[in-house]
Structure 1
Amino acid sequence: MLENYLLSTATHEERQRVIAVEAALEVIKATLSDTNDGNGVSFQLQAAEKHIKSLADAIQNAIDKK
């Protein structure tokens, strides 16, 4: 999905970052769809926003360490 936002001149690192962010989004989607804690969508989106960077960083670190 996000790869369509990259220009054809994107570097390998930029492409890897998009993959990590997409993976983080999938984890967040799965987590939110499985959560029925009574909080509204706005609360859940704010929670996701807080964690997307750190989750993408962790995924990218795991990829980079091979």
Structure 2
Amino acid sequence: MDTVAAIAAERRRLAGLRLAATDVDWAPGKGDPVEGPARRPARADRPGGRETVKRAPRPEPRRPFRCCVPD
């Protein structure tokens, strides 16, 4: 039974480390470590702005597979 408790404790410890590693605000490219990245609203005159983003056309609906059935 000690082994099961030890494994559970180790899993909790590793989960805590994983959570701490993802909670870092000073990762490269994140901007200021305290304030975080400066967020600017997307505008049409900037690359990747709201009005310049094109959506892919919707695919045509697929016909059900028919074997040996005349149309």
Tell me if both proteins adopt one fold, taking TM over 0.5 as the criterion: no
Higher relative contact order (CA 8 A, sep 6+): 1
Bigger proportion of residues as helix = 1
TM-score tier by shorter-chain length is 0.3 to 0.5
